[in-house]
């Protein structure tokens, strides 16, 4: 058995020494990336085309793609977009219409990059209260002795099961905090900033704010209810960041990456006042 032992030992050593670490292959990544949101009722002014970064690329400056012949078309007409530099394209003469299909296309590396989308119609949102009063809590005190205000409910119709998300933003430049204890904490960390909260796109027809817990500053808050398409909601679905789950990211662009999608929105306001 001595011979077989030696054989297995050699086999073992050869395996051991053959350990080598593979690394990400050095593939040049040169796909066109579309970042194109078109808003119902607004001119076409927010389309940007860039190029993806390769792994290990030394220059981390974004590579923009100017000088492309970018066309946008609805069901009847086509329009050429004007390059504005830094990868931006626009055509202010085109006003995006709700409930309308649009197609964007251009040539990149001998392939036609095409993306289609639909601009959803606007949904009117309502808010349960336009003003809410909260007790000021001074630094060092526990507070919370005042009356508990009703939750603020923002609702809209969603019979078709569309995707919505909500942005709550304090418009005050130098907002006063409801709870000064939090202000002190924020000052130590990121500094005092106007409050902003963004929900995730979901199939829903309401959004509720718990004033006592979620409204931390006084002032005029803007609440925007965005109606977005499935391709945008898909950006929030994980495509993973680890090799346990890495997948090609969702995109509605053929022969390219990124997104081309229509958006509509409705804006509401909420005053948060000291009681």
Partner 1 sequence: MKFKLTLLCLCLWGFTALSAQDMAKIKLKGNYQNKLLDLVMLDLEINYRLRFKYDRALTEDVRITASFGKLPLEDALTQLFKNTKIGFELEAPRTIVLIPKTEMSEMDWSKVEPTRRDFTLKGIVKDSKSGESLPFASVMVKGTYNGVTTNVDGYFTLFNVPADTVVLVVSYIGYQNRLVRISPETDIENVKVELEDFSVALEEVVVKATREEQMLSASTGISRIALAPAALAKLPSYGEKDIFRSLQLLPGISGSNESSSGLYVRGGTPDQNLVLFDGFTVYHVDHLFGFFSAFNTNAIKDVQLYKGGFDAKYGGRLSSVVEMTGKDGNTEAFNMGVGLSLLSVNGFVEAPFAKGKGSFLVAGRRSFQSDFYNNIFEAYTDSNEASNDGPPQNLGRFGQQEVQPNTYFYDLNAKVTYRLNSRDVFSLSFYNGEDNLDNSRNLDQDALAGRFGGNLNFNFQRESTDLTAWGNWGGSAKWSRRWNDRFYSNANFSYSNYYSERNRSDQTFITRADTTVERNTGSYELNDLKDLSFKLDNELKINQNNQLDFGWQTTWNDIEYTFTQNDTISVLDRADEGLTSALYIQDRHTFGNRLVVKGGLRTSFYSPTEQIYLEPRASLSYLLSEKIRLKAAWGKYYQFANRIVREDIQQGSRDFWLLADDDNVSIGSAFHHIVGLSYETKDWLFDVEGYYKTLDGLSEYSTRFVTTGFGPDRQLDYEEFFYTGTGIAKGLEFLAQKKVGRLNGWIGYTLGEVKYDFPIFGDTPFPANQDVTHELKIIGSYQLGKVTFGATFIYATGRPYTAPTGYYELTLLDGTTSSFFEVSNKNSLRYPDYHRLDISATYDFTMGTSQASAGLSITNLYNRKNAWYNEYEVIEGELIETKVSLLGITPSFFFTWTLR
Strand ranges for 86-144 from DSSP E:
88-95, 100-108, 111-119, 126-127, 131-134
Over its C-alpha atoms, the chain yields an Rg (Å, rounded) of 26
Residue of 87, 226, 268, 270 that binds partner 1 (CB under 8 A): 226
Which residues ranging from 126 to 145 are in contact with partner 1 (CB under 8 A)? 144-145
Near partner 1 by CB under 8 A: residue from 202, 273, 274, 275: 202
Which residues lie across from 208 on neighbouring strands?
153
Dihedral (Cα; 158, 163, 169, 171), 10-degree rounding: -70
Q: Which one among 6, 66, 69, 236 touches partner 1, defined by CB under 8 A? A: 236
As measured in angstroms, the least distance from the Cβ of 50 to partner 1 is 7
Q: Of 47, 263, 268, 270, which lies in the binding site for partner 1, with binding defined by CB under 8 A?
A: 263
Q: How far apart are CA 273 and CA 83, in angstroms?
A: 46
**Which one, 6 or 198, has the nearer CB to partner 1?**
198
Exposure pattern of 61-100 as b/e (b: 16+ CB <10 Å)? eeebbeebebebeeeeeeeebebeeebbbbbeebebeeeb
Beta-bridge partner residues of 6: none
22 interacts with partner 1 by CB under 8 A: yes
- Asked if 77 interacts with partner 1 (CB under 8 A), we say no
Contact yes or no for 158/122 (Cβ under 8 A) = no
Query: Which residues from 160-189 bind partner 1, rule CB under 8 A?
Result: 160-161, 165, 167
User: Which CB sits closer to partner 1, 2 or 213?
Assistant: 213
Q: Which residue carries 């078709």 as its tokens?
A: 160
257 binds partner 1 (CB under 8 A): yes
- Provide the minimum distance between the beta carbon of 21 and partner 1 in the complex, in angstroms, as a whole number: 4
State yes or no: residue 241 binds partner 1 (CB under 8 A).
yes
Q: Out of 27, 76, 190, 191, point to the residue binding partner 1 (CB under 8 A).
A: 27
């Amino acid at each position: 058995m001595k011979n077989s032992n030696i054989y297995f030992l050699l086999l073992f050593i050869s395996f051991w020494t053959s350990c080598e670490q593979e690394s990400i292959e050095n593939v040049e990544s040169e796909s066109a990336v579309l970042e194109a949101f078109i808003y119902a009722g607004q001119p076409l002014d927010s389309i940007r085309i860039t190029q993806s970064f390769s792994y290990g690329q030394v220059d981390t400056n974004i590579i923009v793609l100017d000088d492309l012949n970018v066309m946008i078309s609805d069901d009847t007409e086509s329009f050429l977009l004007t390059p504005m530099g830094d990868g931006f394209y626009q055509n202010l003469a085109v006003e995006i219409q709700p409930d309308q299909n649009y197609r964007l296309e251009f040539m990149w590396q001998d392939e036609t990059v095409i993306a289609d989308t639909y601009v959803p119609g606007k949904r009117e949102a309502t808010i349960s209260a336009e003003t809410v009063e909260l007790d000021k809590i001074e630094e060092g005190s526990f507070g919370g002795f005042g009356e508990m205000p009703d939750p603020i409910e923002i609702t809209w119709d969603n019979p078709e099961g569309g995707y919505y998300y909500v942005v709550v933003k304090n418009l005050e430049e130098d907002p006063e905090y409801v709870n000064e204890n939090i202000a002190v904490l924020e000052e130590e960390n990121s500094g005092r900033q106007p409050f902003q909260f963004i929900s995730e796109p979901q199939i829903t027809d309401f959004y509720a704010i718990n004033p006592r817990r979620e409204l931390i500053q006084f002032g005029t808050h803007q609440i925007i209810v965005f109606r977005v398409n499935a391709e945008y909601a898909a950006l929030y679905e994980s495509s993973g960041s680890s090799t346990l789950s890495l997948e090609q990211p969702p995109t509605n662009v053929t022969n390219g990456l990124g997104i081309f999608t229509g958006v509509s929105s409705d804006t509401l306001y909420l005053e948060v006042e000291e009681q």
